[in-house]
Structure 1
Amino acid sequence: MNKYLYKITFLLLASLTLASCSDFLDVVPQDKILEEQTYSSEAGIQNAHNGIYLQLTGTNLYGRHLTMDAVEILGQQYNISGSHIRIRTAAYAYAEAAPKSIFNGIWKSAFTTILTANKFLESINEHPEVISAEKANMLKGEAIAIRAMIHFDMLRLYGPIYKVAPADPSIPYYDAYTPSTKPILPAKDVIAKIITDLDAALVLLANDPILTTGKYSPSTAFDANPYYSQNRGQRMNYLAVKCLKARVLLYSGDKTNASIVANEVITFTKNTTFFPWTSFLDATNASNPDRTFSSENFFSLSDYTLYNKQRDLYDSNLEDTKIYAPLLNRINAVFESNDNDYRSLPSWKVPIIGGKTQKTFFKYEDVTDKTKIFRLQIPMLKLSEMYLIAAETAAVPADGIAYLNTLRFNRGLTNLAATAVLATEITKEYRKEFIGEGQLFFYYKRNNTTAIPNGAATSGNVSMGALQYVVPLPESETNFQN
Structure 2
Amino acid sequence: MFETDNGVLQALDGAYVLAAESIYKPNGYMGGGGFAEYLACTWTNTNVDLAAHVYNLDNASFATGLDAVFMAFYKIINSLNPMIEGCDKNREKLSDEYYNIVKGEALALRASLHLDLIRIWGPMPMRVDASMEYLPYVTRNSIENYQYHTFKRFMELLVADLDEAEQLLQKSDPILNYPSDGSTEYTGSWTDRKSHFNYYGVLGLQARARLWMGDKEGAVRYAAMVKDAKNEDGTPKFTLAVEGNIGNNLFYPEHLCGVNQDKFDYQQSGFNPGITMLGYYNSNYNSFVNDLFDGNTNDLRYKSHWSWTRNQMRQNVRVTKKYNEMYPGSTAKRNMPVVRLAEMYLIIMEAGSLSEANVAYEEYSAARNLTYTPMSESDRQERVLWEYIREFAAEGQNFFTYKRFAVKRMLWQNSEAEDCGEEQYVLPLPPSEYKKR
1:291 and 1:98 map into 2 onto residues whose CA distance is 34
2:335 and 2:425 map into 1 onto residues whose CA distance is 28
Q: Does 1:384 align with 2:348?
A: no
Which structure has the greater CA radius of gyration? 1
Q: Does 1:134 align with 2:134?
A: no
| Larger RCO of the pair (alpha carbons < 8 Å, separation 6+) | 2
Q: Which residue of 1 aligns with 2:193?
A: 232
Question: Which one of the candidate residues 243, 256, 272 is aligned to 2:217?
Answer: 256
Q: Is the 8 A contact 2:104 2:164 kept in 1?
A: yes
Q: Does 1:471 align with 2:431?
A: no
How many angstroms does 1:353 deviate by?
8.7
* Aligned ranges 1:315-326 → 2 under 5 Å: 315-318=272-275, 322-326=278-282
Q: Which residue of 1 aligns with 2:178?
A: 213
Q: Which residue of 1 aligns with 2:403?
A: 445
How many angstroms does 1:175 deviate by?
1.6
| Residue-by-residue CA offset, 1:99-137 (whole Å, 9 max, x unaligned) | 333321111110010011101112233334553022211
| Residue-by-residue CA offset, 1:380-426 (whole Å, 9 max, x unaligned) | 11111111101111223x43233222112101112024558101110
How many angstroms does 1:218 deviate by?
5.1
88-97 or 153-162: bigger deviation = 88-97
Q: Which residue of 2 aligns with 1:401?
A: 358
Label 1:218 to 1:190 Cα distance change in 2 as closer, same or farther (>3 A): same
Label 1:462 to 1:57 Cα distance change in 2 as closer, same or farther (>3 A): farther
Q: Which residue of 2 aligns with 1:313?
A: 270
Label 1:461 to 1:255 Cα distance change in 2 as closer, same or farther (>3 A): farther
Tell me the TM-score normalised to structure 1 length: 0.81
User: Tell me, what secondary structure is at the counterpart of 1:299?
Assistant: strand
How many angstroms does 1:438 deviate by?
1.1
Label 1:331 to 1:89 Cα distance change in 2 as closer, same or farther (>3 A): farther
| Residue-by-residue CA offset, 1:194-252 (whole Å, 9 max, x unaligned) | 111110111111121111113335567xxx41x23x21111101111111011111111
How many angstroms does 1:156 deviate by?
0.4
Label 1:185 to 1:39 Cα distance change in 2 as closer, same or farther (>3 A): closer
Label 1:373 to 1:60 Cα distance change in 2 as closer, same or farther (>3 A): closer
1:254 and 1:349 map into 2 onto residues whose CA distance is 38
User: Tell me, what secondary structure is at the counterpart of 2:339?
Assistant: strand
* Aligned ranges 1:29-178 → 2 under 5 Å: 38-39=1-2, 41-60=4-23, 62-63=25-26, 64-68=28-32, 69-78=34-43, 80=44, 84-95=45-56, 96-128=59-91, 130-167=93-130, 168-178=132-142
292-301 or 362-371: bigger deviation = 362-371
How many angstroms does 1:331 deviate by?
5.0
Label 1:56 to 1:50 Cα distance change in 2 as closer, same or farther (>3 A): same
1:107 and 1:418 map into 2 onto residues whose CA distance is 39
1:261 and 1:346 map into 2 onto residues whose CA distance is 28
1:155 and 1:368 map into 2 onto residues whose CA distance is 32
Q: Is the 8 A contact 1:453 1:461 kept in 2?
A: no
User: Which stretches in structure 1 are left out of the alignment for 5+ residues?
Assistant: 1-37, 284-288
**For residue 122 of structure 1, what is the amino acid of its counterpart?**
E
2:36 and 2:221 map into 1 onto residues whose CA distance is 29
Q: Is the 8 A contact 1:169 1:184 kept in 2?
A: yes
Label 1:279 to 1:372 Cα distance change in 2 as closer, same or farther (>3 A): farther
User: Tell me, what secondary structure is at the counterpart of 2:393?
Assistant: coil
Q: Does 1:295 align with 2:235?
A: no
Q: Which residue of 2 aligns with 1:7?
A: none
Q: Is the 8 A contact 1:330 1:455 kept in 2?
A: no
**For residue 361 of structure 2, what is the amino acid of its counterpart?**
L
How many angstroms does 1:85 deviate by?
3.7
How many angstroms does 1:184 deviate by?
1.4
Q: Which residue of 2 aligns with 1:364?
A: 323
Q: Does 1:193 align with 2:152?
A: no
363-372 or 404-413: bigger deviation = 363-372
Q: Is the 8 A contact 1:155 1:171 kept in 2?
A: yes
Label 1:464 to 1:100 Cα distance change in 2 as closer, same or farther (>3 A): same
User: Which stretches in structure 2 are left out of the alignment for 5+ residues?
Assistant: none
Question: Which one of the candidate residues 390, 401, 405 is aligned to 1:432?
Answer: 390
How many angstroms does 1:355 deviate by?
8.4
